[in-house]
């Protein structure tokens, strides 16, 4: 079985009750959405996803030793 290692960097509110830097292992290439599910996040929670420093969509496949950075969606607070 092939082991795929993906490093995930979380920013801003995603760090609340989570480690800022995490590593996940999977048996094959997986879409970003799988990592989001494992972090209990939805695609609507994410404002920007970067794979190896390049902005990507949630359906792109991650490969061994990729670095995924997740930035939360900016939500406007109305008074």
pLDDT tens-digit map of 3-54: 899 999 999 999 988 999 999 999 988 999 999 999 999 999 999 999 999 9
| Number of C-beta neighbours around residue 59 at 10 A | 9
3-class DSSP assignment, residue 9 = strand
67-76: pLDDT as tens digits: 999 999 987 4
And the tokens for 51? 């794979």
- Measured distance CA(79)–CA(62) in Å, rounded: 40
Sorted by where each starts, the structural domains of the chain and their CATH numbers stand as 4-72 (3.10.20.30)
- Measured distance CA(22)–CA(77) in Å, rounded: 29
Yes or no: say if 45 and 25 are a contact pair by the CB < 8 Å rule. no
Whole-prediction pTM: 0.89
Yes or no: say if 68 and 77 are a contact pair by the CB < 8 Å rule. no
């Amino acid at each position: 079985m092939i082991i795929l290692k993906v490093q995930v960097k979380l920013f801003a509110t995603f760090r609340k009750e989570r480690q800022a830097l995490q590593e996940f292992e999977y048996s094959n290439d997986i879409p970003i959405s799988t990592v989001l599910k494992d972090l209990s996040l939805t695609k609507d929670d994410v404002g920007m996803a970067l794979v190896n420093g390049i902005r990507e969509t949630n359906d792109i496949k991650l490969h061994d030793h990729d670095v995924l950075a997740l930035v939360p969606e900016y939500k406007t607070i109305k008074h």
